[in-house]
């Protein structure tokens, strides 16, 4: 492939991959909001501990499911972003982590001395690295969403149980 065309193609591919990040992160924050809302409603509907019995232990089921969902949300929002090493052992001039590790003077000097071939290699490496990170984020989104869905029925059952255990309470259920 023509070197100029390869550089342009690599740049547009990297932009395409980076364009998916806001999509997955917005969905992760949606799941985060739903999970936290479910926990808040569960806690607000809970009767005093003195009224709890063995049946109230059902709260563990939605609690664990929501906690696992929140764990996956966390992993999706803050994945391992180590990377930025390109062929030849050089560090990337595109990856924010390796740029920040340099001084400004060193970054400018390295960027000015980078060849077209090294730049294309860096772009292609960033496409791969960001695709790996994006893949992790989507897997975490899928897992968090599934755990949230698994929690819904036991969560509703627990809310109903809590309402029956505390009939005098004024909650959203009454």
User: Of all residues in the chain, what percent carry a pLDDT higher than 70?
Assistant: 92
Question: Is 70 exceeded by the pLDDT of residue 171?
Answer: no
Calpha distance 18→108 (Å, rounded): 24
Q: Which two tokens stand for residue 129?
A: 């690295």
**Beta-carbon contacts of residue 141 (< 8 Å; ≥ 6 apart):** 24, 27, 28, 31, 72, 76
For residue 169, what pLDDT is reported?
67
Domain boundaries, the chain: 3-164
For residue 7, what pLDDT is reported?
87
Give the mean pLDDT of 73-98: 80
> Which secondary structure element, helix H or strand E, spans residue 17, and what is its range?
helix 3-18
Calpha distance 136→142 (Å, rounded): 10
Give the mean pLDDT of 97-114: 91
For residue 83, what pLDDT is reported?
63
Tens of pLDDT along 29-53?
A: 999 999 999 999 998 888 888 888 8
């Amino acid at each position: 492939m023509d070197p100029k065309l390869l550089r342009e193609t690599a740049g547009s591919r990297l932009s395409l991959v980076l364009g998916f990040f806001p999509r997955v992160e917005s969905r992760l924050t949606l799941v985060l909001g739903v999970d936290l809302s479910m926990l808040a409603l569960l806690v607000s509907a809970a009767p005093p501990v003195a009224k709890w019995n063995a049946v109230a232990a059902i709260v563990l089921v939605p609690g664990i499911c929501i906690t696992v969902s929140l764990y996956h949300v966390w992993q999706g929002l803050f994945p391992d972003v180590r990377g930025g090493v390109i062929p030849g052992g050089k560090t990337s001039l595109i990856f924010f982590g390796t740029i920040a590790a340099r001084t400004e003077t060193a970054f400018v000097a390295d960027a000015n001395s980078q060849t077209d071939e090294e730049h294309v290699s860096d772009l292609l490496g960033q496409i791969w690295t960001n695709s790996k990170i994006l893949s992790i984020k989507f897997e975490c989104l899928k897992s968090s969403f599934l755990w949230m869905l698994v929690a819904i029925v036991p969560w509703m059952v627990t809310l109903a149980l809590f309402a029956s255990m505390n009939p005098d309470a004024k909650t959203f259920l009454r």
